[in-house]
Amino acid sequence: MDNYSIYAENIQLRLREIDELRFTDPEKVIPIAEQLYEDAKDLGDDGLMGYADFFAGDAWYSIGNVEHCLYHLNRGIREFERVGNWYKEIGCYILLGIVFSNQGDSGNAFASYREALILAKENDDIFDMALIYENYSEICDLTENAEKALQYALHARKCILRCRDNPRFKRIYAIIQTTVAKLDIKAGKLDHAERIIKELKKFIKENPGERESLDLLIIELLCLHEKGCSELEDEAVKRVVSEFDVNTCRSDYFMYILLFMNYLRDSGRYKLLEHIVSEMEATLGNENFPAIQLKISEFKVEILEAQGKEKELLQELMKYRTYFRRQQEQNTSTVRLLLDLQSSLESSRKVNGELQKKVGTDELTGIANRWRLREKLLSMFKEAESDELLFAVEMMDIDHFKEINDTYGHVAGDKCLTAVAEVLKDISGERCFPIRYGGDEFMILYSGHSQDELDRICHSIRADIRERCKQPDLPDFTISQGVFGAVPEASDHIESWATRADHALYQGKNRGGDAINLNFL
CA distance 376 to 512: 32
Helix/strand number for the chain, H first, E second: 21, 5
What's the confidence (pLDDT) of residue 483?
96
Q: Which has the closest alpha carbon to 376: 448, 435, 458?
A: 435
Q: Which has the closest alpha carbon to 462: 440, 474, 439, 479?
A: 479
End-to-end CA distance of the chain: 35
Q: Which residue has the higher pLDDT, 51 or 105?
A: 51
- Angle (nearest 5°) at CA 12 between 8 and 15: 140
* Check whether domain 370-520 has CATH 3.40.640.10, yes or no: no
Query: Measured between alpha carbons, how far is residue 133 from residues 103, 129, 139, 176, 182 in Å?
Result: 19, 6, 10, 9, 16
CB-based contacts of 204, cutoff 8 Å, min separation 6: 174, 210, 211, 212, 216
**Backbone angles phi and psi of 516, in degrees to 5:** -120, 120
| Confidence at 292, pLDDT banded by 50, 70, 90 | confident
Q: Kindly report, residue by residue over 25-36, the tens digit of the pLDDT.
A: 888 999 999 999
Mean pLDDT of the chain: 87
The region of weakest confidence among 114-123, 283-292, 300-309, 495-504 is 283-292
> With pLDDT > 70 as the criterion, what percentage of the chain qualifies?
93
Query: Taking the alpha carbons of 430, 431, 432, 438 in that order, is the dihedral positive or negative?
Result: positive
Question: 480-490 as b/e, with b when 16 or more CB fall inside 10 Å?
Answer: bbbbbbbebee
CA distance 489 to 189: 46
What's the confidence (pLDDT) of residue 517?
94
| Confidence at 492, pLDDT banded by 50, 70, 90 | confident
Cβ-count burial of 413 within 10 angstroms (0-12 exposed, 13-18 middle, 19+ buried)?
buried
Q: Are strands 432-438 and 441-447 parallel, antiparallel or unpaired?
A: antiparallel
Contact of 239 with 219, CB cutoff 8 Å? no
What's the confidence (pLDDT) of residue 515?
93
Domain boundaries defined on the chain: 1-103, 370-520
Tell if the pTM clears 0.95, that is, is over it. Answer: no
Q: Kindly report, residue by residue over 146-160, the tens digit of the pLDDT.
A: 889 999 999 999 999
For residue 167, pLDDT over 90 is answered with: no
Q: Kindly report, residue by residue over 416-433, the tens digit of the pLDDT.
A: 999 999 999 999 988 999
Q: Kindly report, residue by residue over 342-358, the tens digit of the pLDDT.
A: 665 566 555 555 555 55
Q: Which residue has the higher pLDDT, 57 or 353?
A: 57
What's the confidence (pLDDT) of residue 129?
93
What's the confidence (pLDDT) of residue 307?
85
Q: Which residue has the higher pLDDT, 76 or 251?
A: 76
The region of weakest confidence among 63-77, 118-132, 186-200 is 63-77
Q: Kindly report, residue by residue over 350-403, the tens digit of the pLDDT.
A: 555 555 555 578 888 989 888 778 778 888 888 888 888 999 999 999 999 999
Contact of 507 with 482, CB cutoff 8 Å? yes
The region of weakest confidence among 1-10, 106-115, 140-149, 509-518 is 1-10
What's the confidence (pLDDT) of residue 66?
79
What's the confidence (pLDDT) of residue 293?
82
Sequence-ordered alpha helix ranges (H) in 64-105:
66-83, 86-102
| Confidence at 107, pLDDT banded by 50, 70, 90 | confident
> With pLDDT > 90 as the criterion, what percentage of the chain qualifies?
49
For residue 287, pLDDT over 90 is answered with: no
* Three-state secondary structure string covering 95-134: HHHHHHHHCCCHHHHHHHHHHHHHHHHHCCCHHHHHHHHH
CB-based contacts of 255, cutoff 8 Å, min separation 6: 138, 142
| Confidence at 447, pLDDT banded by 50, 70, 90 | very high
CA distance 179 to 215: 9
CATH of domain 1-103: 1.25.40
